[in-house]
Amino acid sequence: AGAAPTASSSSGSSFKALRAKLNSLNYFQPLSEESLALAEKLLEDILRSAENLRGLEKSALSRERESKERVAELKSLRWENPRLLKENTELHRRVLDDSCGHRNQRKQWADRITAADGEIAHVQLLQQLGVSRGAEMRRSAELLRSQVSEMRRLDAGVADNSGSRPRPSSITIRGQAPPRLPEADDGSRRAQ
């Protein structure tokens, strides 16, 4: 008998607490003690749903803010993209122009190197010819010296045998004589 009053007093205090919560939420409809458990459960569900709704609203506001930021970024990218595309195209054109210029310059350098190599080969050939001609001239000079020496020796021997004084040696030039300069005509002589 003692347990029953406790259960009824606890259900009475629960009823009063629930009624106070409902009144604070502006719900003034009559509520019986039999529907107390159901009303408490519904109230908990409503409060949980309200809390979830606030969380979803915060999340929605956050997402909306993020969406606005993304839209702003997208607008700036749409504005920047043509400019960047134009800059990229200009840079690409410059790279191609520089590449063509460098290619032409390398070709010119290669042509100059080839020409210089040809000139070097020509100069080396001329040098070899000069060296061989110099050696030939030295041999020819030696031969001439020995011939002159032989002639002097023979000439000295002939002079000793004849008792006359030897003739001075002369140099004989072989080949064509150089052309003579034309003499001035009589009219120019009279003017002098």
Largest CA-CA distance found in the chain, in angstroms, rounded: 191
pLDDT band at 192 (very low <50, low <70, confident <90, very high): very low
pTM for this model (two decimals): 0.35
Which two three-digit tokens encode residue 61? 């506001």
Position 124: which residue type? Answer: Q
Mean pLDDT, rounded, for 140-153: 91
11 CB contacts (<8 Å, ≥6 apart)?
33, 36
pLDDT band at 77 (very low <50, low <70, confident <90, very high): confident
Report how far residue 143's alpha carbon sits from residue 55's, in angstroms, rounded to the nearest whole number: 122
Which two three-digit tokens encode residue 79? 């504005």
Report how far residue 47's alpha carbon sits from residue 54's, in angstroms, rounded to the nearest whole number: 11
Which two three-digit tokens encode residue 148? 């002159």
Q: Which tens digit of pLDDT belongs to each residue from 127-137?
A: 999 999 999 99
Give the per-residue pLDDT at 65.
94
Q: DSSP string spanning the chain?
A: --HHHHHHHHHHHHHHHHHHHHHHTT------STTHHHHHHHHHHHHHHHHHHHHHHHHHHHHHHHHHHHHHHHHHHHHHHHHHHHHHHHHHHHHHHHHHHHHHHHHHHHHHHHHHHHHHHHHHHHHHHHHHHHHHHHHHHHHHHHHHHHHHHHHHHHHHHH-SPPPPP-----SPPPPPPPPP-HHHHHH-
Q: Which tens digit of pLDDT belongs to each residue from 34-63?
A: 777 788 888 888 889 999 999 999 999 999
166 CB contacts (<8 Å, ≥6 apart)?
155, 156, 158, 159
